[in-house]
Amino acid sequence: QQQVKQSPQSLIVQKGGISIINCAYENTAFDYFPWYQQFPGKGPALLIAIRPDVSEKKEGRFTISFNKSAKQFSLHIMDSQPGDSATYFCAASIDNYGQNFVFGPGTRLSVLP
Which residues form the interface with other proteins (CB under 8 A)? 32, 34, 36, 41-46, 49, 51, 89, 91, 93, 95-98, 100-101, 103-106, 108
Nearest CB to other proteins, comparing residues 4 and 77: 4
**CA nearest neighbour of 78 among 18, 37, 21:** 18
Nearest CB to other proteins, comparing residues 10 and 67: 10
Q: How far is the CB of 100 from other proteins (least distance, A)?
A: 6
Longest dimension (CA), the chain: 42
Nearest CB to other proteins, comparing residues 28 and 100: 100
Q: How far is the CB of 67 from other proteins (least distance, A)?
A: 20
Nearest CB to other proteins, comparing residues 29 and 46: 46
What is the sign, positive or negative, of the torsion defined by CA atoms of 44, 45, 48, 51?
positive
Core vs surface per residue 77-86: b (16+ CB within 10 A) or e: beebeeebbb
**CA nearest neighbour of 105 among 12, 20, 24:** 24
Q: How far is the CB of 10 from other proteins (least distance, A)?
A: 9
